[in-house]
Chains A and B, each alone.
Chain A
């Protein structure tokens, strides 16, 4: 059952990065929309409104799996990365409520401006801290017995490596969001605008991806070394990058679903490569006593219950979720 639970954990993380990420990315695009703010705003609102809450449920599932199935991971992250997690949560609360308030305010006036700003800025913050936390977990700077406040609660995340993963995740989210948004509009100007943003995001993604490598040497994190010693991951990343020109071709031809699926596959490759070089380790500790999915796993009885809950739960969730997307995304695009 442990493997069933691990598969669900990975699926939930992937779907959160894909769907939740697209939602965060949309907010970031809005932040950098410049003079086209109004147009982008209504595009984002219409594209996200019916489905954004469902998109964010994956993080709840992820957290539940972690704290029930892998309590050692959950507690260690909660303690060492306490501060960035709090900042992340503030962002989550603010952006969700601002988005809804913007939609449901019966009067359209200056307050719209405030909601939009909060929504856009907190989208950027949440994405950044999300990436930063992932970076911090594998930075090997987490310690269970800190000697100072700095060592225990600041150093794991305030370093160039973690910060560069934060930036990388932001650009990754913008990338998925823009591929998604392109086909949400038929307006030519708007499409071209988003295509420009997508290209920019791709550029930032490649550059910040390179930064993650460079800073891993600077900060003495073994990320780059692990990666270079893992041929499968190298092949996967090369494939994901090589698929970019193909993606542009498909987008220019206006093929909606192929472009979305390809971008999803690229995201999947990036996460898979990242995951493969660490499996089964999750938290890299300063003293080398790394926490793995096996060492952190809950007793078998718990995992069995969790596994069944996930299997039955997914049988309920996936059909309804599919129906939701069908009603609001597939049927409408077809009509």
Chain B
């Protein structure tokens, strides 16, 4: 959902400055948008079915309660599909500004549909808007369910993460191309646009993360305990960096402990008491090891990207000649997968961290799964299809890049 924004920025510069290089960049990015949107659109279609195929028990209860964001998501998705058609095929056919606006709407509706979907997920963490009596939902209030207590922190965190991951991913790919001596001006322009955009969100993300952490501490203390590997309730609890939780002996191995910091981050008070896993029945513990490790990965990637973002602005303002120095390009290249890694790790934290519940404190995951046997085959087939799609998409992008290089004027300079 970020690519369209980068594309729109480049398109705007083209409309204003009329430098052909920005037009080429817009068109190159728009092809990426088209390919990824097609994969996203068919996946989205598949997903709307899969929810029922995999979790009929969940959907039966959840559908009427939390369907509302999905109905809005459907609208946003639809508008996105229409506008992407207008944008991709509208060159020379639409008024340039209407054409530009159609690209912008692709981006906005993409963000909106992302927000709606995450709202539904937030509801699974913070169920609201119904009364649960004897295994049935009564007195449903869809509005309350959609704007559940977790929706702000989760959608904010995810939207920023998506902007950040994609922008750094795009910048990284262009940096790799520059490092490979494909010394084209267009890659430099691409990096400047992508990093200017992405770095803002990279710096904002830790703030949103802090907001999310306080939220989790309030509502899902066992998730926070698992994220931190905190087995026993502590006053003035320390923040563990790294480390491997040993569930059997209920202790953290290795890792550096910063005294009092966890209490401060969770409750804004260095002396606050943080609940450990010992406060909760053993069968309701989330799997501690994957949650803790994923959380560490997410935070590490996040801070690395924020640092790259800061370095980028320093170079851009103060030491412009080093902006395309090899060292910085390496840094950008390394960042390519980190944002996506952080996103996946973050989802692992929130999803695995909610287990064994599918709807927090209401329904267990095991009770909602489909009765149809043979799920492993189902999973394998889809994993295989998506692996193939990923490989083909990467291969297509490479072919696009080669075609782009063939069309670009070679630069005379030798600096890489």
**B39 contacts across to A, CB distance below 8 A:** 96-97, 100
Nearest CB of chain B from residue A312's CB, rounded to whole Å: 8
From B60, B68, B403, A72 is in contact (CB under 8 Å) with B60
A94–B39 CA distance with the chains assembled, in angstroms: 9
Q: A53-B85, A99-B38, A327-B90 are in contact. Are A320 and B79 (CB under 8 A)?
A: yes
Q: A61-B74, A79-B370 are in contact. Are A67 and B396 (CB under 8 A)?
A: no
Measured CB to CB, the nearest residue on chain A to B109 is: A316
Decide yes or no whether B15 CB sits under 8 A from chain A. Answer: no
**B142 contacts across to A, CB distance below 8 A:** 301-302, 305
Instruction: Say whether B34 contacts A68, CB under 8 Å.
Output: no
Q: A101-B392, A104-B35, A323-B86 are in contact. Are A299 and B64 (CB under 8 A)?
A: yes
Q: A59-B45, A61-B74, A302-B142 are in contact. Are A67 and B81 (CB under 8 A)?
A: no
Decide yes or no whether B49 CB sits under 8 A from chain A. Answer: yes
Instruction: Say whether A82 contacts B372, CB under 8 Å.
Output: yes
A37–B406 CA distance with the chains assembled, in angstroms: 30
Task: Indicate with 1 or 0, residue by residue over A79-113, a CB within 8 angstroms of chain B CB atoms.
Answer: 10011011011101111110111011111000000
**B56 contacts across to A, CB distance below 8 A:** 75, 78-79
**A261 contacts across to B, CB distance below 8 A:** none
Q: How many residues of B contact A (CB 8 A)?
A: 66
Which residues 28-84 of B have a CB within 8 angstroms of A? 31, 34-35, 37-39, 41-46, 48-53, 56-57, 59-61, 63-65, 67-68, 70-75, 77-79, 81-84
Instruction: Say whether B75 contacts A316, CB under 8 Å.
Output: yes
A225–B56 CA distance with the chains assembled, in angstroms: 33
Measured CB to CB, the nearest residue on chain B to A298 is: B64
Instruction: Say whether A64 contacts B86, CB under 8 Å.
Output: no
From A89, A93, A327, B93 is in contact (CB under 8 Å) with A327
From B59, B83, B94, A67 is in contact (CB under 8 Å) with B59
Q: A92-B46, A97-B38 are in contact. Are A313 and B74 (CB under 8 A)?
A: yes
**B303 contacts across to A, CB distance below 8 A:** none
A320–B90 CA distance with the chains assembled, in angstroms: 14
Which residues 211-236 of A have a CB within 8 angstroms of B? none
The residue among A53, A74, A75, A88 with the most chain B CB atoms within 10 A of its own CB is A53
Q: A53-B85, A299-B64, A317-B78 are in contact. Are A97 and B59 (CB under 8 A)?
A: no
A106–B50 CA distance with the chains assembled, in angstroms: 33
Task: Indicate with 1 or 0, residue by residue over A46-60, a CB within 8 angstroms of chain B CB atoms.
Answer: 000111011011011
**B322 contacts across to A, CB distance below 8 A:** none
A64–B84 CA distance with the chains assembled, in angstroms: 22
Measured CB to CB, the nearest residue on chain A to B48 is: A63
Instruction: Say whether B59 contacts A324, CB under 8 Å.
Output: no
Instruction: Say whether A54 contacts B85, CB under 8 Å.
Output: yes
Instruction: Say whether A63 contacts B35, CB under 8 Å.
Output: no
Task: Indicate with 1 or 0, residue by residue over B381-416, a CB within 8 angstroms of chain A CB atoms.
Answer: 100010001001000100110110000000000000
From B42, B86, B381, A324 is in contact (CB under 8 Å) with B86
A71–B77 CA distance with the chains assembled, in angstroms: 21
A83–B49 CA distance with the chains assembled, in angstroms: 12
Q: How many residues of A contact B (CB 8 A)?
A: 64
Measured CB to CB, the nearest residue on chain A to B401 is: A106
**B392 contacts across to A, CB distance below 8 A:** 97, 101
Instruction: Say whether A78 contacts B396, CB under 8 Å.
Output: no
Q: A54-B81, A107-B403 are in contact. Are A71 and B35 (CB under 8 A)?
A: no
Instruction: Say whether A89 contacts B94, CB under 8 Å.
Output: no
Measured CB to CB, the nearest residue on chain A to B35 is: A104
Which A residues contact B (CB, under 8 angstroms)?
49-51, 53-54, 56-57, 59-61, 63-65, 67-69, 71-72, 74-75, 77-79, 82-83, 85-86, 88-90, 92-97, 99-101, 103-107, 149, 153, 298-299, 301-302, 305-306, 309-310, 312-313, 316-317, 320-321, 323-324, 327-328
User: What 6 pairs between A and B have smallest CB-CB spacing?
Assistant: A68-B67, A78-B52, A313-B75, A100-B38, A298-B64, A96-B42
Which B residues contact A (CB, under 8 angstroms)?
31, 34-35, 37-39, 41-46, 48-53, 56-57, 59-61, 63-65, 67-68, 70-75, 77-79, 81-86, 88-90, 93-94, 140-143, 370-373, 378, 381, 385, 389, 392, 396, 399-400, 402-403
24 pairs from A and B in contact (CB 8 Å cutoff):
A49-B89, A50-B85, A50-B86, A54-B78, A57-B74, A57-B81, A63-B49, A64-B48, A67-B51, A71-B64, A74-B52, A74-B60, A77-B52, A89-B50, A96-B42, A96-B45, A97-B39, A97-B389, A101-B35, A104-B31, A105-B396, A317-B78, A327-B86, A327-B90
